Structures are given as C-alpha cells and as structure tokens.
Amino acid sequence: MREPASARGRLSIGEVLGQLRGDFPGLNISKIRFLEAEGLIEPERTPSGYRKFSHRDVERLRYVLTCQREHYLPLKVIREHLDAIDRGLEPPALNGTAGPQVPRVVLDGDGYPAREAFGADASELRLSRTELLTAAQIEDPLLEQLETYGLVRPRTGSSHRAAPYDGDALVIAKTAGELAAFGLEPRHLRAFKTAADREIGLVEQVISPMRRGRDAGASARAEEAISSMAALSVRLHAALVKAALRA
C-alpha cells in the first residue's frame, strides 16, 4: 500500500486530520501519531522531520479507524489485515468468517494476456507455502514435485520472506493441480517448461541489443518490447495448440 517516493500530492498531518475528521469526529493528531508508532501507517519524513502522507497512507488510516470503530478489532488483528493487503491479498472478512483471500482475477489466470500482464509489477501477490497450497487446492507433495522440476520457484529477496510465492506461482500450481486430475504429473509438464525457455531465448535475442543502447530511452524501449513479445508468444502458442487439437 505504498507509493513511490516521487509521487505527488503529499499531505501534512493537519491536512490528513482535516480529511478524516468528518467521518471520525474523535480523531486527533495524537491518535494519528500513536498509530504511526504502532507501525500501522508509515508516512514519509521530510529532511526537517515533518510527516508527509500519501493518498494511500490516508486510505490505510481510514481502514484502521473503520476496523476499530465499527468492528472493535484490536491492533494486532488490524495489523494482520494490513499485512494481507500489502501482500496483494483481499483482507479477511470483517465479520471473522474467513481469512485473507486470493483475488479472483489471479485464480482465473490470464487467458490471452495483454502485454501489461508481463510488466515488472504484474505479480505483486505474496503467499506463504500454506496459503499457496490452500489457494491452488493442491497437496504439499505435488508442490514439492513442481519445485523439483523447476515449474514453481519461490522468489528470493522479497520483503515478505515468509511469503515467497507470487501470483505466477499460484496460477502454475493451480493449473498443474487441475492437469493432475487427468493423470499428468509434474514430470510430464517439463515439455511446457522447455518450450517456455525456448520462447524466452528468442525474446532475449531481440531484446539484448536494445538493452545495450546508450540513449536514455533504451531501457524503457526494451521493457516495452519484452511485454509485447511475451504476450504475442503466449497468444501464438495457445493458437497453435488449439488449432492442432481441433485438427
């Protein structure tokens, strides 16, 4: 729920108070500072030490205050909700009937994805191993096999070390689980991985010269080309499989 430091529209703590006090008449600056001290919000600080809040900080604060006033949730539980949101999950139901949920759009997969689906921020979801197994509806032995054959790989260097799996891992695991119902095991799926690696190799042949460009726009052009070529290759692969099966 954080925006880049370069984002515009930062608010002072007084301006935040002015925005929220209409909905939360009892709110004061001391309460905002307390929630910051508890780690529930993390406004930026200017070199002189003044707090600066983004729009997302304000919405995060609104969520915390709503959970407290309307559902009487303790800060520990609210912190768990915020952690789920930060990992791309839908927060637990406020009535307590369900835990964090994977967004439906992730579970549905991409179909014929547009190039935007291959951007650097296309998979911000973060799941623990248990959450991945639950969402994908598979058992741990199948996930172990998927990892053994390189079909699913935990992400390293994530700020959420306890949740190393992303949305791509979930779609792969869920799809592999559905294929397993037809008798296809992870060892049979290596052909898909090999085909994907070959497609990536072709893309890299085109992209590498672009990346070596010295002008200011070289990197941006390379990233745009990667997204476009990736989407086109997936579309071509799907069309070829569909045409062959119909034949």
pLDDT tens for each residue of 64-116: 999 999 889 999 999 989 988 888 888 877 665 566 777 655 555 555 666 66
The answer on 134 and 63 residing in a single domain is no
When pLDDT is cut at 50, 70 and 90, the band that residue 30 belongs to is very high
Evaluate whether residue 180 is within a structural domain. yes
In the chain, the number of structural domains is 2
Amino acid 101: pLDDT:
74
Evaluate whether residue 161 is within a structural domain. yes
When pLDDT is cut at 50, 70 and 90, the band that residue 21 belongs to is very high
The answer on 150 and 57 residing in a single domain is no
Q: How far is CA 175 from CA 107, 142, 180, 246, in A?
A: 10, 12, 9, 21
Name the residue range of residue 60's domain: 13-72
The pTM (predicted TM-score) of the whole model is 0.67
Q: What is the DSSP letter of 55?
A: H
**Average pLDDT for 228-241:** 87
Residue type for position 7: A
The answer on 57 and 131 residing in a single domain is no
Evaluate whether residue 131 is within a structural domain. yes
Least confident of 102-106, 122-126, 228-232: 102-106
The answer on 119 and 37 residing in a single domain is no
Q: What is the DSSP letter of 100?
A: -
The answer on 149 and 204 residing in a single domain is yes
Calculate the dihedral angle through the C-alpha atoms of 189, 190, 191, 194, rounding to the nearest 10 degrees. 140
Calculate the dihedral angle through the C-alpha atoms of 110, 88, 128, 137, rounding to the nearest 10 degrees. -40
When pLDDT is cut at 50, 70 and 90, the band that residue 6 belongs to is very low
The answer on 189 and 67 residing in a single domain is no
The answer on 124 and 55 residing in a single domain is no
Residue 148, token pair as written in the block = 């053994």
The answer on 237 and 125 residing in a single domain is yes
Amino acid 230: pLDDT:
86
What percent of the chain is helix, strand and coil (3-state, nearest 5)? 55, 5, 40
Evaluate whether residue 107 is within a structural domain. no
Per-residue pLDDT tens over the stretch 172-211: 999 999 999 999 999 999 999 998 899 889 989 999 998 8
Evaluate whether residue 181 is within a structural domain. yes
The answer on 230 and 133 residing in a single domain is yes
